[in-house]
Amino acid sequence: MREKIQEKPHDVDDRIRILKDWLYQIEENKGGKKGKVLSICNLKGGVGKTVTAINLSAFLAAYKKRTLLMDLDPQGHCGLGLGIDVENLEKSIYETLSDGTRSLTDTILPIKPNLDILPANIDLAGLETELITDSHRTTKLIDKLQSIKHLYEYIIIDCPPSIGLLTINALVASHAVIIPVQSSILSLYGIEKIMETIGTLMEDLSLDIKVYLLLTLFERNLRESWIVREKIQSAFGKLLLNTIIRKNTRLNEAVRRGITILEYEPRSMGAYDYHQLAREIMEIE
């Protein structure tokens, strides 16, 4: 049997290897922590939300944690950032969420050892309109997740930069939300609004979600960055994660190439920072 497998095309070999590894991990992790769902959320774009989702997932996977990266942003940047042609997907998360008979497993794509992705594209933009009259519009995602949580230790959701039904579905399904906050004075004015919005949703929907703030695009040589950090620390205390994501051009270069920072420049500041973030998340979640 082994010789026959070796004679098959390499792509088939890879799929068999990934499947075997997947089944092994499922068996090995029985009885352990399963399906911790973390949403990466901010109402503002350009704060490192998708870069954080991609690279946090990559480093969790590197620690041999079975990880699923779920893209709930119609821009599909998670898929693009991992080299996927999102415009020509045969199946996306839209079809799964809009069709009650479909399972999320129909859309999951294996990317690397321990890392899978549920990709999205512009089709997802129409889902919010379709869900408006649905009595289960806020629980579509959590209902679908029940059947796959046992397959993963971490499920990372990249939310769109808005509070609509997609983001609400992500929050309803989440154990925790990470809010990337750009290290600038202007970002301080938006934090209170984000926290208030999430707090209102938690109260209205009876959610029990941990909230963490993550400083991103931090420039150590700028006094403004340290002032922002001090103000956030003073206002939110332990909600602010210890890890700081420094501004690093290598992170954006990696996304443009469709690979993670771990593959592109593993010795860069960006790789070090996301390595530290993964370690911190594993300790607290």
Claim to verify: residue 106 and residue 134 sit in the same structural domain:
yes
3-class SS of residue 268:
coil
Q: Read off the tokens for 87.
A: 């415009």
Rounded CA gap, 259 and 264, in Å? 7
CATH number, domain with residue 270: 3.40.50.300
Which DSSP state fits 70? E
Claim to verify: residue 56 and residue 24 sit in the same structural domain:
no
Q: How many CB atoms lie within 10 A of CB 10?
A: 7
Claim to verify: residue 39 and residue 66 sit in the same structural domain:
yes
Claim to verify: residue 197 and residue 164 sit in the same structural domain:
yes
Claim to verify: residue 82 and residue 52 sit in the same structural domain:
yes
pLDDT digits (tens, 9 = 90+) for 77-105: 999 999 999 999 988 899 989 887 788 99
Claim to verify: residue 97 and residue 237 sit in the same structural domain:
yes
Claim to verify: residue 11 and residue 73 sit in the same structural domain:
no
**Confidence band, pLDDT 50/70/90 cuts, at residue 54:** very high
- Contact between 157 and 39 (Cβ < 8 Å): yes
Claim to verify: residue 25 and residue 142 sit in the same structural domain:
no
Rounded CA gap, 29 and 21, in Å? 12
Claim to verify: residue 5 and residue 99 sit in the same structural domain:
no
Rounded CA gap, 54 and 111, in Å? 11
Claim to verify: residue 229 and residue 175 sit in the same structural domain:
yes
Claim to verify: residue 256 and residue 153 sit in the same structural domain:
yes
The average confidence (pLDDT) of the chain is 87
pLDDT digits (tens, 9 = 90+) for 144-166: 999 899 999 999 999 999 889 99
**Single-letter amino acid code for the residue at 55:** N
Identify the domain containing residue 2 by its residue range.
1-30
Which position has the higher pLDDT, 131 or 116? 116
**Confidence band, pLDDT 50/70/90 cuts, at residue 71:** very high
Number of domains in the chain: 2
Claim to verify: residue 54 and residue 10 sit in the same structural domain:
no
**Confidence band, pLDDT 50/70/90 cuts, at residue 201:** confident
